[in-house]
Copies of this chain bind each other. A is one copy, B any other.
């Protein structure tokens, strides 16, 4: 249950009423609104209080993420880059930061082609312990440097809550990866950090479960969440994962959060990336995150699916044309 408070109202009596009902609650200040979320619903259903402007009972399992109380789309601001607005925002960069030259080259190339954000993994969740695990903090430092040089804010994946201090220092947007999508302690830390979060969908999660992972972050008083579809596990073998355009659109229709799509991981092969990227934009994605490597065939990870800078540049042109046809920009 959401109690949206009157501007500047004293909510101490509301607090008392909720407390004495036995319900749990949390006071939040989200999107310029003060609100109290209380649960379970049945304990607080009859509560009224002069401090409350509006009481909303979303019919969905997620509350704060639902557009039932906030119908205007949320715009997430990453150092001035606005995600969820008219412009389709593109983040691009290597799967993993490998060395300074690789990163700098890529950063400059993707900037030239029109990317708005730099992506790159420093801490890498790898299926096998024998695969390249990333450069760690050193990789974060390189990302910071590349960002400072190009002006592109950095989005990069955090895997362990104990590393948060480094991410606060070096990154502009946290990425929660598919494999940690339901690592709830990490989600809570990401929420508490106050940083913008790019929240990937777990490969075995329904759209509803995905939105509920966002709810964990919002409930920490952090409204800067972008939902990112990156493909789910199905029986189809010609692609690495199955990009779930339908689930992505479902999420967009039920929440106020911006939606991102990652066409690289579901494709698994370079030649499919363009089509998946364009499909996602046509279906309403507000953001794309694309893997680009100066020499994909030599990449230490995801070698098959990273685009060359030339391929990325062509993709940006196609996205721009498409976005315009849809009444957006890119």
Residues on A close to B: CB < 8 A? 24, 39-40, 61-63, 125-130, 159-162, 179-180, 182-186, 202-209, 212, 215-216, 219, 231-239, 241-247, 249-251, 253, 266-267, 271-272, 275-276, 278-284, 321-322, 324-326
Contact = CB atoms under 8 A, between A and B. Distances in A.
Given A161-B160, A183-B183, A208 B279 contact: no
B236 A206 contact: yes
Given A238-B251, A279-B283, 8 more contacts: A127-B182, A161-B162, A179-B184, A232-B236, A233-B233, A238-B250, A242-B242, A253-B272
A278 B283 contact: yes
8 contacts: A62-B128, A179-B184, A204-B232, A207-B237, A232-B242, A249-B276, A276-B283, A322-B322
Number of copies: 4
Contacts of A39: 130
Contact of A324 (B179, B282, B325): B325
B130 A40 contact: yes
A215 B125 contact: no
A281 B326 CA distance: 13
B253 A246 contact: no
Contact of A275 (B205, B283, B321): B283
Given A232-B234, A246-B243, A283-B279, A203 B206 contact: no
Nearest to A39: B130
Contacts of A204: 202-205, 232-233, 235
A250 B238 CA distance: 7
Contact of A322 (B126, B233, B243, B325): B325
B233 A239 contact: no
B238 A208 contact: yes
A257 to B, nearest CB: 15
A126 B128 CA distance: 27
B253 A271 contact: yes
A267 B279 contact: no
Nearest to A272: B249
Contacts of A129: 184, 212, 215-216, 219
The 10 closest A-B pairs by CB, nearest first: A204-B204, A325-B325, A282-B282, A179-B182, A239-B246, A238-B250, A160-B185, A279-B279, A279-B283, A278-B282
